[in-house]
Structure 1
Amino acid sequence: MSVPAAAGETAGDGDGGAPPDSAEAPAARALLYGEPLLDLPQDLYIPPEALEVFLEAFQGPLDLLLYLIRRQNFNILDIPLAEVTRQYLGYVEQIRRSNLELAADYLVMAAMLIEIKSRLLLPARPSEPGAEPEDPRAELVRRLLEYERIKLGALQLDELPLRGRDFLVAQVHIEQAVAERFPDVSADELRAAWADIVRRARLTQHHRISREQLSVREHMTLVLRRLQGRRFVEFHELFEIERGVPVLVVTFVALLELARERLLEITQAEAFAPIYVRLSWQPA
């Protein structure tokens, strides 16, 4: 900005020299819609909380309580509630001054700590003989241990490599088409493949099994015919061994059925003596 010359003085030298130096243009304070803003508006209002910085070091009441216990190396199974509650209330008082809504959850935990401490001061309730007295801190300890396990698990998961954060997936695009090339096959390989197919075909052959129709009633009639007119017959003489096991089984079942119906008698003089079979209506 040029300064006007005093009365009776010339603005330049005798030869009409250069004009006076102009002042340097002020720097822009900000950009508003792409245009430089040289001066701040006089009616600009900045709320006090807009310049406040919050450092959220804890994720909740349990996180704060676990921090106080671990920082002082307290035994989590034997928490000194008086000292921990005093430190906890001091932190809650600090956050209550700045954010009452944030302090609400912490106040609930503080009330729980005070309740547990008061229950410890009262006489223990009588329990059953042989049972240990109930510890008011047990539920709080269980929640702290469970929260600590979940927190450590979350930290371990966070340390695992994450796509997009720790590594990127490489992508390669090949426009040139590659002609498919089949492998060469020799005559020996074809012969070995054919031999393998024949071997597997022999392993999967089907076998047809037919069974002989045998009737227990028919063999009962045959046994009665063999005993007809004979006083005694040895047990083994009633079986036709040459006809196979199925016929032997059916003959034995026929003998048992005849004995059940009291049509024949099976006798033995003594142990390990021969077994005899006879018709029950024949005289001894």
Structure 2
Amino acid sequence: MSEELILHHYDSSPFGEKIRLALGLKNLRWRSVINSVVPPRPFLTPLTGGYRRIPVLQIGADIYCDTHLILRTIDRLRPDAPSLFANKTTEPLCWWWDKATFAPAVAIWASFVGDKLPKEFIDDRKTFAPGFELNKEASGANLSLHVQHINAHLVWLIDMLADGRPFLLGEPSALDVTAYHTLWLVKQNCGEGAATLLPDLYQPGVLLSWFERVAAFGHGTREALTQEQAFEIAKQATPVEPNYISQNIDNEWEIGDKLRIVPDDTGRVPVEGTLVAADRHEMVLRISDEKTGNINVHFPRAGFEVTRA
């Protein structure tokens, strides 16, 4: 079985940038499948069982959803130094940053570019994330509050870097690419217009120096792959037996149960399938149909709701 890394993403996605930088940090070779910013995604959706967030990582007939799990998977399959999770505090710190800063970063971004966004994008995101306001006028009206939220957390990054360490936990890790990606969303799209709002991110100092070091990770070696080619790879492959999973599910579910998994925040489209593996970190559903054959779809436990189908 090929363990070729195939990333389904689009270039302007900040969560896509998080994963691209992780691939760069490990200097990996990977296949890039560009998908549309808004659905439909006719070749990707059958592989995910309906899960609609992006990016997703494909390895043969195994599909990994959510960037927290994608980072863990890259580290497991490519243990090349540096490790993304050498420090046990890394993953909860990544969770903190995503939950605390992504929404205000999107609001700052929308206050600059909201009037330039295509109507189809705005309409789609209203369904995808009902609490996110992408209207420039509405976002701009609360801009000072969003800036307060971001700056309050930037102070903690600055404090972490104050002792001269080059990266947030000393050595480069998943926390660096996670903290970077929301700030990248602002700097990439708002440019110098946000300099007075987030001065520590623009003025010379430990934060800007750190930001530039993370940007220098690059994206590894990226090779193009079409959506059709990626679909065919999955169709022709056989899902891997997830022997790395301890099957520690505390009698919550039984292997073979029909389950429904859905994100607990945005993109709440359920995926239904048969449970083939689970522990306290990850759950794997088997989905099958005539078009795709058998596919294993992997989810992290954190951030997802699981019920019987």
Higher relative contact order (CA 8 A, sep 6+): 2
TM above 0.5, yes or no, is no
TM, length-normalised to structure 1? 0.17
Which of the pair is proportionally richer in strand?
A: 2
Larger Rg, first or second structure (1 or 2): 1
TM, length-normalised to structure 2? 0.16
